[in-house]
Amino acid sequence: MPLAGAWGVGGGAGAGGGGWWWAGRLLCAVVLLGWAFLWALHCVALWAARWRLHRTPPHPPVGGGAGAGAGEQALPGVSVVKPLLGADPNLRANLATFFTMEYPHFELLFCVEEEADPAALVVRQLIEQHPLVSAKLVCSGGSRVGVNPKINNMQPALQQAAHAFLLISDAGVRMRPDTLLDMMAHMLQHDKVGLVHQMPFTCDRPGFAATFEKVYFGTAQARIYLAADLLRINCHVGMSSLVRREALDDIGGLAAFADYLAEDFFLAKALTAHGWRLRVAGQPAWQNAGSYSLTSFLERLHRWAQLRVSMLPLMILLEPLSECLVLGVAAALACRSLFGWEPAAVYLLHALAWFLSDWLLLCAAQQGPLPFSKFHFAIAWWLREAIGPSLFALALWKPRVRWRSRDYRIAWGGVAHEIKPKAKY
C-alpha cells in the first residue's frame, strides 16, 4: 500500500500514511528532475553535434618546420603509436591511411607482442611501399608493466618515441588525410590542453551488425560524449587520442595506469587533477574493423558496462534510470502521481521524442546520408534500447571481464587482476 500510494495508484495521505505519501511525492519530484536533466543532455548534445562536431578551430598559418616563413608557425612533430594484435580484412586499408596523412612531420610506431603476429607482415609490406615515411615495427617481446595488455604492448614504442606529442590509435581506426591536423589545431588552442580525443563513431559498412554499431555510437554514446565534453566531465575513450608528452610525464607516464583495463578514463582523470585540459576533436574516430558481428559487439558493450560498474559504483543506481524505456516508465508514473496525467500517453510521447532526438543526433554525427533506411534505424534503435538494461544487469551478475582472450577480475575503484587459468596435470 505505501508503494502504491507513492506512485499515486493507491490511497492518499491517510492516517499513519502521511510520511509515506510525502516520501512518494518527493521521489516523484526527484524522478522528474532527473528526467528533465536527461532531456537537457539531449539538447546539449544536439547543439554540440551541430556546431562543434566536424569543425576545425581556426589557428595561425602553419609551416612544415625550420623553413616556415614569416607569420607561420611550425607544427610540432607527432609520434603515432599503434598497438596491434592479429589482422582482420580491413587492417591493411586502415593502416595505409596513416602513411598518407597530410601532416608535415610524424613517425609511425606499430606495436606487436611477437614477430609472428599476422599484423607484423602487413606492417612490413606497408613500410616497404612507403619508404619516405618514418615508420617502424616494434616488438614488445612480452614486456609487462602491469595487467593491461594494450599498455604492455605499447611500452617499448613509447620509450622510443621521438616527438613531444603522441597519437595513440587503436588498430581498427581509419584516418582521413586531415585528421591529425584537426586534432593538433584543438591541441594548440591553449598551452594547458594536455589531451585531444576523438568521439567514437564508425565507417559505413554492410550488414545489420554495422547498422547497430553506428546507431549505438551515433546516439547513446554520442549523446553522453558530447554533452560530457561541454560540461567538462571526463568522457575520454582512448581509441584515438593525441596527448602532450609533458602532460603525460607529469602524471607518471602511461605505465602508471597499467593496472587498469580502463586506462583511458583514469589517464584523463589524472590529467584534469593536475590542471591539464581535455578537448574533443572536430572529427570523430572512424572505426573500421573488418571482422564484426552483433554477438561480438554485445560482448563489447557488456565489458564496458562491467568496467563502469567497477569504476563508478554510483552507476549501479543511476545508469538503469538513464535508459529510455526504464526512464519512460518512471517518468510516466511520476507524472500520474503529481499531475494526474495518463501514463500511457506520457510514455509514448517520451519514447517518440527520444527516438526523433536520436535520429537527429545520428544525422549530425554522420554529416551525410546514412547507409541504411529509417526502418533499419528503427529496428536497431529499439533493439539497443531494449537490451540496454539487461546488459547492465548481466554486468552486475557476471563481474568477470574477458578481454583479448584473457580473464580479469575488477576490484572496486577499477584496478584489474588477471585470472590465470588453472594448470592441468
Nearest to 412 by CA among 316, 272, 268: 316
Tally helices (H) and strands (E) across the chain.
Answer: 15, 15
Residues of the chain by 3-state class (helix, strand, coil), percent to 5: 50, 15, 35
Question: Which residues lie below 8 Å from residue 33, measured CB to CB, with a gap of 6+?
Answer: none
- Distance between CA atoms of 85 and 310, rounded to whole angstroms? 26
Q: How far is CA 60 from the centre of its chain?
A: 30
Residue 409: helix, strand or coil by DSSP?
strand
- Distance between CA atoms of 67 and 71, rounded to whole angstroms? 12
Nearest to 261 by CA among 277, 242, 237, 281: 237
- Strand 73-74 and strand 62-63: the pairing is parallel
Q: How far is CA 20 from CA 6, 13, 14, 307, 375, in A?
A: 7, 8, 10, 36, 45
| Spatial contact of 158 and 254, defined as CB atoms under 8 Å apart | yes
Q: How far is CA 273 from the centre of its chain?
A: 20
DSSP of 253-304: -GGGGTTBS-HHHHHHHHHHHTT-EEEE-SSPEEE--SS--HHHHHHHHHHH
Residue 109: helix, strand or coil by DSSP?
strand
Amino acid letter for position 372: F
Active site residue 264: yes
Can you say whether residue 360 is alpha, beta or left, with left for phi > 0 and alpha for psi between -120 and 50 degrees?
alpha
Query: Which position among 182, 229, 259, 264 bears the catalytic label?
Result: 264
- Distance between CA atoms of 342 and 336, rounded to whole angstroms? 6
Cell 602524471 locates to 251
Q: Crossing angle for the helix pair 294-311 and 208-218, nearest 10 degrees?
A: 30
**Residue 237: is it exposed, middle or buried by C-beta count within 10 angstroms (0-12/13-18/19+)?**
buried
- Distance between CA atoms of 420 and 397, rounded to whole angstroms? 21
* Residues classed as catalytic: 264
